[in-house]
Chains A and B, each alone.
Chain A
């Protein structure tokens, strides 16, 4: 019994790992646009070298050909130092190895607020902001969906139920779109809440005041997502619970005369929980990669804005670093979920061979 599960686990780990490796390698290629970023980096270095040489008083007396020669020498050395003398296909494999071992290296153009060029520091500086904002949002959304979904599934056909069906299309508008309206109303018109950002400038020194300031800045982005995605969440959960409420074993439990609360907990919630948890964990992990446009609209200094800046500036190491972290997180989550279900669910356990 046990060895079988371990064997299954190992097999899944290997498959997931290979998937991650391939995805990261593709990202490296796309993020370098097949070597185009090389040209940007090279011309950047050449510009820097020639500027520093031409402004260096020690070379002032030399003529043009001598200066060009010196520039070329320093330039070639600089290239060798960062390994750019090798062809891209060779370097892409080194990048891959570095990425997979999580030695994320240095950013090309971006730097962290503290002035560091290390990709790890840049990402770690942004990640907590995004996690704070979107984990809060997703948790609230999750419980709204669960609670109202259950509530409405019991009151099928009631006014509230039909209202929830009617309002579900409102979720076709994305969160950032509602965000613009919220800014318009609460920031521009009523002047109650800030336009964007994460904390007042200058940041309050007091810890409590700081937390309150962050909370104030979080209100609008969280609210915009709640408005955008609550309706569809409730609708999906409600429909999901309704489907399970008509299963034979639920009918049987009702016939036995079990109280509603037990039916709900044991006969509806328990069998539906695995897919709901799966859905929630994947959404949560996905949300940590930030929402580029929401973060732009609210000027939130999170991973989404970082993603945006890295893509616009072609900062490949940052992009690859973000993708690697995301891929590992996703793969780990998928693995844990599969493994837990394989152990817990007798139907899946039977299929483990």
Chain B
């Protein structure tokens, strides 16, 4: 017990080890939280559900905490729906003898400093033969009312992507140009034209400002039927979302960032521990038995040192599209005869000559007993640091495979997020949060293990400690 205590107090002496340990504990905490709150199957389902599932989320939104650090408040997403009771929503369907009148009104306050990213309107209509004829109008805080469009709603689910309406864009541009007696020299997005102050500031996208205040969207309709129901949902997409933001498919990046943690930790730790143990065992056998066994094992190792590890791994994972755990097994199989075997063999060759090993041989201990009870335990402490340090390598290997477009096709991992971001030009478009968040997680993980490993190295290998 006192030995263990001494070990830990020594460990704490090294501040970087302490920092590393705290980060590792933090990551383990995240992992446990993730596994409990979002079961793996749910995570995969959420991550692979497709855009339809995430339709209420803004695309490529920044993380919400960005507003804490910026004077300019970016808009959050505003969702108003008639399907449940909500402040700012009113719906009335008044049937008369031959037709029904629909009146839906959404009102909300908009006090952000930036324009929304998109505006969509979703409908759910129930009727028999005659489809509702709707007029959509927009009321700005200054009381001005603009008719956006008249449309017919089809049965079931329908939608009107307001911010994608090309005709509306042209009309609005002309309307505003006339109003301020100045032609707008560029094509402003609809989101800007619906929310901007209509004065000369709108003439450039850099000077245009949001008109803050209460907005309204009216849906007035008429149906030549009495058995009618219509539900509508207005989504004014913001530019921030949740703790981690969203990607190009509107997915909540939080899921991938959270689930990346247990996957990276288990992949890294399993790979590095298993590979080190097997390599050590091969090295011990090679050194202990010598002769033919040694020759064969050493030649096999040399052959494997020539084989190109990553290209072979890429081929195999391209062909089979393995999930991450099978990939782990392949990685282990391709690396067990790595250069580590040579190092371990050299260590065991020295230990083999130690008197206590000779004594064991003299009392007739079996080969297996000597290897597992006398040789391996002697080397184990000296290699623990390198095992800990190499966890980082395997965490990055998984990320690297994902960046090459390989790796697990389903699991949400940090590497996958970086790959998505890279493929969709996040760096060109300035969507830095998309790359930075998973990168910081990766860096934290590998740095924590490296810091702990380097400190352990000084404790377990005191020859270095004196230096």
Contacts and interface: CB of A to CB of B under 8 A. Distances in A.
Interface in B265-310: 299, 302-304, 306-308, 310
A19 B318 contact: no
Contacts of B389: 172
A188 interface: yes
Interface string A168-193: 11111110110011011001110000
B315 A33 contact: yes
Contacts of A188: 427-428, 430, 432
Contact of A293 (B403, B451, B454, B467): B403
B307 A23 contact: yes
A156 B467 contact: yes
A226 interface: no
Given A31-B315, A169-B451, A330 B306 contact: yes
B435 A307 contact: no
Interface stretch (B159-167, B193-201, B212-220, B441-449): B441-449
A169 B454 contact: yes
B407 to A, nearest CB: 12
A169 B16 contact: yes
Given A168-B454, A180-B418, A307 B308 contact: yes
A239 B446 contact: no
A131 B119 CA distance: 53
User: On chain A, which size bracket covers the interface?
Assistant: 35 or more
B312 interface: yes
Interface string A24-55: 00110011010010000000000000000000
Contacts of A31: 312, 315
A182 B222 CA distance: 59
B303 A26 contact: yes
Nearest to A165: B454
Nearest to B418: A180
B302 A19 contact: yes
Nearest to B304: A23
B307 A323 contact: yes
Given A20-B306, A168-B454, A289-B308, A174 B404 contact: no
B446 A172 contact: yes
B443 A22 contact: no
Contacts of B436: 184
A324 to B, nearest CB: 10
Contacts of B453: 169
A173 B392 contact: yes
Given A23-B303, A23-B306, A184-B432, A319 B311 contact: yes
What's the dominant secondary structure at chain B's contact region?
helix
Contact of A172 (B318, B404, B447): B447
Most buried by B among A169, A180, A308: A169
Given A187-B427, A188-B430, A296-B403, A312 B396 contact: no
Contact of A19 (B306, B442, B464): B306
B231 interface: no
Contact of B396 (A174, A242, A243): A174
Contacts of B308: 27, 289, 307, 319, 322-323, 326
Contacts of A239: 464, 467
A314 interface: yes
A100 interface: no
B443 A177 contact: yes
A243 B467 CA distance: 8
B304 to A, nearest CB: 8
Contacts of A293: 400, 403-404
B87 interface: no
Given A172-B449, A172-B450, A323-B307, A181 B427 contact: no
A88 interface: no
Contacts of B310: 292, 307
Contacts of A189: 432
B225 interface: no
B393 to A, nearest CB: 7
Given A169-B16, A173-B392, A184 B467 contact: no
A37 to B, nearest CB: 9
Q: Which has the most chain B C-beta neighbours within 10 Å: A165, A174, A311?
A: A311
Given A172-B449, A183-B427, A292 B404 contact: yes
Contact of B442 (A171, A177, A319): A177
B46 interface: no
B459 to A, nearest CB: 14
Contacts of A195: 427-428
A256 B337 CA distance: 48
Contacts of B399: 177
A33 to B, nearest CB: 6
Given A19-B303, A292-B310, A176 B430 contact: no
Most buried by B among A176, A292, A297, A326: A292
> For A36, A188, A310, which residue has the most chain B Cβ atoms within 10 angstroms?
A188
A33 B303 CA distance: 18
A15 B303 CA distance: 11
Nearest to B339: A282
B303 A296 contact: no
B439 interface: yes
Contacts of B303: 19, 22-23, 26
Contacts of B446: 172-173
B409 to A, nearest CB: 15
Given A174-B396, A293-B400, A326 B450 contact: no
Contact of A169 (B315, B439, B447): B447
A177 B439 contact: yes
Interface of B: 16, 20, 299, 302-304, 306-308, 310-312, 314-316, 318-319, 389, 392-393, 396, 399-400, 403-404, 418, 422, 427-428, 430, 432, 435-436, 439, 442-443, 446-447, 449-451, 453-454, 463-464, 467
15 contacts: A18-B299, A22-B303, A23-B306, A169-B451, A172-B446, A172-B447, A180-B435, A181-B439, A183-B427, A184-B432, A242-B467, A307-B310, A308-B314, A312-B318, A322-B308
Given A169-B16, A308-B314, A319-B311, 8 more contacts: A19-B302, A26-B303, A27-B307, A33-B319, A173-B446, A177-B396, A296-B404, A311-B312
